[in-house]
Amino acid sequence: MDIGSSVKLSGISLSNPLISGAYINSKTLEDIEILSKSSCGAIVVGSISLKPRSQNTGHGYWRHKERFYSLNSYGMPNGGMPYFKQKLPTIAKVAHANHKVLIANLVGFTPEEFIELIKLAQDSGVDLVELNLSCPNVWDDGKQKVILSYYPDLINELLKKILLTKPRIGIGLKLSPLPPNLLVEVSKIIAKSKTVKFVTATNSYPNALTSTGTKVEDEVIFAGLTGRALKPISLGMVKQLRALLPSSIDVVGCGGVSTANDVTDYLSVGATAVQIATALIEEGPSIFDKILFQGTTRF
């Protein structure tokens, strides 16, 4: 399997199937300038929320000493509408000048907030949006914000409201790791929504702890699990989604990708492309060159 060839994601050509996923260094114009110089096919900017958010206190990121997994609890720090209204058009221009597709990862706390953010992306020259239905680390006053992926009725309501606005931009959903029954239910909603062009599986597994603790501060105890340990779960979800969704909806693999073999694993179960995030933290943007030039030991 050739992982260096162009692919079409929701009708848009990527020079290769490697996408830099939303992570801690994909939130500013300067971050995107750096990622634009890498050899990925597309860049995700975000997560972007309506209001600016600062990082949860504490380190935000922990790695297992043998790198079996990582944990994060950043809490979605980003400049919000004030920053992105000004910078997103330039971010899109920078990505396009470097032949990268630009995907904006958006987080609303109500359907109306999602709709406002979709409009911002549309008006700023972004190519696709990815609605983040899966951020595990947002806590206000000690209470965790709802992780939409686990609430099919709320997803249904959100997609119906978005459809009424007749969005011009292709819309994707980034999901949490889901158990099989919920996955079937959510897939049915996505399949009949007429709103969704791609699904990314998966974001981090919520509310993880290590034996040494992941305590950030008293009210923020848990973190999202990513990296190698997540890959079998995300890979299984991609295969299930590919069987559950119509072929008009693409599936993007995400979880534990750091080698060419990881990429072929996802593509071989039906992913159109893959996102890389934890390995970007660990290895930096040269990860894309490493993957593209190392070749695979299978297929």
Interface positions with ligand RRO (CB under 6 A) = 47, 72-76, 132, 134-137, 203-204, 224
Q: How far is the CB of 259 from ligand RRO (least distance, A)?
A: 21
The overall longest dimension of the chain from CA atoms, in Å, is: 51
Of the two residues 170 and 206, which places its CB atom closer to ligand RRO in the complex?
A: 206
Of the two residues 42 and 267, which places its CB atom closer to ligand RRO in the complex?
A: 42
Q: How far is the CB of 46 from ligand RRO (least distance, A)?
A: 8
Q: Is cis: bond before 296, omega within 30 of 0? A: no
Q: How far is the CB of 76 from ligand RRO (least distance, A)?
A: 4
Of the two residues 204 and 264, which places its CB atom closer to ligand RRO in the complex?
A: 204
Rg (CA), the chain: 18
Q: How far is the CB of 62 from ligand RRO (least distance, A)?
A: 12
Of the two residues 256 and 267, which places its CB atom closer to ligand RRO in the complex?
A: 256
Using DSSP, state whether 18 is helix, strand or coil: strand
Of the two residues 72 and 258, which places its CB atom closer to ligand RRO in the complex?
A: 72
- Distance, in Å, from the CA atom of 296 to the CA atom of 283, rounded to the nearest integer, reads 19
CA 3 to chain centre: 20
Of the two residues 15 and 83, which places its CB atom closer to ligand RRO in the complex?
A: 83
| DSSP for 233-272, written as a single string | HHHHHHHHHHHHS-TTSEEEEESS--SHHHHHHHHHTT-S
Q: How far is the CB of 107 from ligand RRO (least distance, A)?
A: 6
Using DSSP, state whether 8 is helix, strand or coil: strand
Name the residue with tokens 């979800």: 237
- β-strand pairing of 143-144 with 101-107: unpaired
- β-strand pairing of 139-140 with 143-144: antiparallel
Instruction: List the beta bridge partners of residue 274.
Output: 18, 253
Q: How far is the CB of 75 from ligand RRO (least distance, A)?
A: 5
Q: How far is the CB of 243 from ligand RRO (least distance, A)?
A: 25
Q: How far is the CB of 135 from ligand RRO (least distance, A)?
A: 4
**Comparing C-alpha atoms, which of 138, 112, 125 is closest to residue 47?**
138
Of the two residues 3 and 252, which places its CB atom closer to ligand RRO in the complex?
A: 252
Asked if 272 and 13 count as a contact pair (C-beta separation under 8 A), the reply is: no
- Distance, in Å, from the CA atom of 207 to the CA atom of 288, rounded to the nearest integer, reads 29
Of the two residues 41 and 224, which places its CB atom closer to ligand RRO in the complex?
A: 224
- Distance, in Å, from the CA atom of 230 to the CA atom of 218, rounded to the nearest integer, reads 27
